[in-house]
Structure 1
Amino acid sequence: MTADLLRREEALARVLSHVAVLGAEDVPTGSAVGRVLAADALAAVDLPPFVSSAMDGFAVRAEDTPGTLVIVERIAAGLPSSRGLSRGEAMGIATGGVVPEGADAVVPIEYVVEHDNKVETSEPVVRGANVRPRGGDVRAGVAVVPRGTRIAAAQVGALAAAGIAGVACTRRPRVAVLSTGTELRRPGETLGPGQVYEANAVMLAAAVAAANAVVEQLPAVADNENAHRAALERALSADVVVTSGGVSVGPHDLVRRVAGELGVEEVFWGVSVKPGKPVSFGVRGRTLVFGLPGNPVSSLVGCELFVRPALLALQGAAEPGPVYEPGRLAVAVRRNPRRDELLRARRTIRDSGVFLEPITGQESHMIARTAGTDALVLAPSGTGELPAGAAVRYLPLA
């Protein structure tokens, strides 16, 4: 198997080459968080939709300053003035209020002296000061958020402000998650000899849900061909199938063979990465099928490296990832001569940047230790070691 291992980058490229973006559906703007835009969202109005004040103060004509001006009206946000501004006049105005015709500047309230319904300015005011031009943020008909953007709170705010009530988003992918293994029992049940609690399916379901998938978590199946066949046939109706366990070369590793009998064409098996070497990927029609290892950390790493990017690509994300961030090692790390390693680590923020300290106990079964980490540090294959302070890339886990 070692000679046939794919490089991590090549494996991801093969996965993404089999992705066909899903169809679009209309989604209310307020419900679109986490969704990916299927088309540019165009502003319905100029933003701001009128010339407005950037400060609480007084709307004036710049050529009338400095001097004493008569206050003829007071403008609240949402309540424009009843007339324009004439020479020698000022109007009180709130932030966001409509600047009246004739005014070309706003003097902040703290820079004036108000008395007897008059306002006195002691310094000349520059034309355009504290005035927000109509359409200064975006013009009607211009893209507020481009296609392929994954929507977060900032995008929702921008869409709503631009008068966009709903957006076209790519359909959320349907993902079936299946764990295999006779030894698996649900948390809370009494363990018998040789049995362990099933953690992979719930972990993977949480991970793919974070990528905005609609998840169906199937009951774990024993190492039995008929049970595998029934569960996989059901799972293959989804857009994506994610299994854990049963993808290696042991006598009870049935997933790849049974999937093949059900028409899954295997694209690759085995990636030059640690943990997670025996990951498999195949397709049946447009359904993507990922076989992740049974060791929980290997399963998590495989999901982050391959499944999550595939899910975001299915949704048309402009940058499906994985998106690595820069940091520095807090301690030295010995490199693996044959495989890239993803090391679980803790992040520390210092004045000079992000520092990452890999935890002790990097074995692929040690999922409990992963709970105390928030990063996967990429240590490229090679000889020797990466010294403390070396620049590295990492994937955030939280």
Structure 2
Amino acid sequence: MSASMLTVEEAQARMLALIAPLPVEGVPVEQAVGRYLAETLLAARTQPPADLSAMDGYAVAGPGPWHKIGESRCGEPFTGALTACQCVRISTGAILPEGADRILIQEDVVVEGDRVTAAEEPVLGQHIRRKGFEFAAGDTLLPSGTLMGPAQLALVRSAGHSAVPVRRVPTVAIFDSGDELASDPAACAVHQIPASNGAMLGAMAAALPCKLTLGAPLPDRLDAIVAALEAQSDADLLVLTGGASVGDHDLARPALLAVGAELDFWKVAMRPGKPLMVARRGRQLVLGLPGNPVSAYVTAVLFMLPALRHLLGAADCLPQPIMLPLAVECPEGGARREFLRGFLGPDGVIPAHQRDSSALLTLARSNLLIDRPTQTDVTKAGTSVPCYLLETGGIA
């Protein structure tokens, strides 16, 4: 275990090195949305499978005028071949008949019985989608690790696949801990606070495919925390929030050691979220997140969600910052790298004034985190700064 504080990047790299993507399984394409391809996807068919019309009108052979001899519709192509000065009525997406070399669009024609004329001759090859212009059978379409969304689903089906290989869905167990936590927010005594971290982290994890277990808040008793950890020994990812610091009642570290977890590192040079623990128990990754809710949220964005994406086989599991201009001046950075809550308005990024790591109201009103390096001078309005966009459930 490292004795000194790690940088965020060092800590992320060490965490990801402790785990590997889960085993591969095949699922129907429609069930793969939100998951990541476990293998490179090759086209099983050619698209389009033949030359098609890109417009409604007439498929013509050579210069006009033309004699109409039939029709080619989607799903019902013309079966013959065209010779010079012949044409067929054709629909967008219909197969181009043999012998046709251009498309005359509907708006440009004059039809008198079966005689078709045009004010201007159509350009050779115009308005034709050539066979295989998008992809051919055997072409590489999507690399391994690609996130499956609606567009990818459509592409995969278009490429001739009814099922795809993805990683097994991870099992996740989340607990918050502390004697001060009340399970029922509506029945909270003056010496208590409503338990919110577990529900918050569970909602963030549920934005990714996983099988989630949310435990009741654990008391500040070593035996209770150990029992909860033991009961979830088969989970792929176990998250414990609270008790990660060094007070008399901070029991995450001794509990992890008691169940045989190997603590890889503890403490990261970041604010909020310094008291972060990362351990491994067999194949299980264990994260001990801080108890302050903003700290728990930020460390979940930077560590818990990347760990889940890595288990799911994502090619890029770490959140990527984007550069956005400041609408107002941003305060100087301190001794630790800081992730400031902020809001993206019409004129740019506005840092939140409240920086306390327990302030959920500020977090709920924020839609991004501003990445502030250590010892940064006051930054003027208009300067672009790295930001992580937030949405319900985590990184956008």
What TM-score results when the alignment is normalised by the length of structure 1? 0.95
Structure 2 counterpart of 1:131:
128
Partner of 1:258: 255
Shift of 1:292: 0.5
Provide the aligned length of Structure 1 versus Structure 2.
390
**Equivalent residues of 1:26, 1:167 under 8 A apart:** yes
Please list every run of at least 4 consecutive aligned residues from structure 1 whose deviation after the TM superposition is greater than 4 angstroms: none
Question: Quick check: 2:185–2:195 contact (8 Å CA) kept in 1?
Answer: no
- Give the aligned partner of residue 7 of structure 1: 7
Between stretches 387-396 and 164-173, larger displacement belongs to: 387-396
Distance of 2:318 and 2:222 partners within structure 1:
35
Identity %: 37
| Range with greater deviation from structure 2 (205-214 or 75-84) | 205-214
SS for the counterpart of 1:333 is: coil
* Match of residue 36 from structure 1: 36
Shift of 1:89: 1.0
Residues 71 and 77 of structure 2 are in contact (CA less than 8 Å); yes or no, is this contact kept in structure 1?
A: no
Counterpart in the other structure of 1:330 = 327
Deviations 1:39-63 (A, max 9, x none): 12222210111211111111112x3
- Is contact 1:37–1:148 with CA below 8 Å preserved after alignment? yes
2:371 corresponds in structure 1 to: 378
Q: Which residue of 2 aligns with 1:394?
A: 387
In structure 2, what residue type is equivalent to 1:22? Answer: L
Match of 2:231 in 1: 234
Rounded Cα–Cα distance in structure 2 between residues aligned with 1:187 and 1:42: 51
2:160 equivalent in structure 1:
163
Establish whether residue 224 from structure 1 lines up as the match of residue 217 from structure 2. no
Q: Deviations over 1:109-144 (max 9, x none)?
A: 112222323221222322221111111111112222
The farther-off stretch of 118-127 and 316-325 is 118-127
CA distance in 1 between counterparts of 2:161 and 2:41 reads 8
* Residues 335, 380 of structure 1: 8 Å contact kept: no
Corresponding position of 1:118: 115
Within a 5 Å distance, the mapping from 1:308-319 to structure 2 comes to 308-319=305-316
* TM-score scaled by length of structure 2: 0.95
Measured in 2, the distance between the counterparts of 1:139 and 1:170 equals 27
Is 2:265 the partner of 1:272? no
Aligned counterpart for 1:176 among listed residues 173, 176, 185: 173
Deviation at 1:220, TM superposition (A): 1.3
CA RMSD of aligned residues (A): 1.5
Query: Distance between the aligned counterparts of 1:145 and 1:383, measured in 2?
Result: 40
Query: Structure 1 residue 163: deviation in Å?
Result: 1.6
Q: State how far apart, in whole Å, the 2-side matches of 1:305 and 1:343 are.
A: 13
3-state SS of paired residue (2:88): strand
User: Take 2:323 and 2:357, find their aligned partners in 1: how far apart are those partners?
Assistant: 24
Shift of 1:338: 0.8
Aligned to 2:77: 80
User: Could you tell me whether the CA contact under 8 Å between 1:71 and 1:90 is conserved in 2?
Assistant: yes
- How far apart in 2 are the matches of 1:202 and 1:346? 23
Q: Distance in 2 between matches of 1:30 and 1:259?
A: 39
Q: Answer whether contact 2:326 2:349 (CA < 8 A) is retained.
A: yes
What corresponds to 1:247 in structure 2? 244
Q: Hey, what's the Cα distance between the residues in 1 that align with 2:382 and 2:11?
A: 30
Matches within 5 A, 1:28-107: 28-61=28-61, 63-64=62-63, 67-107=64-104
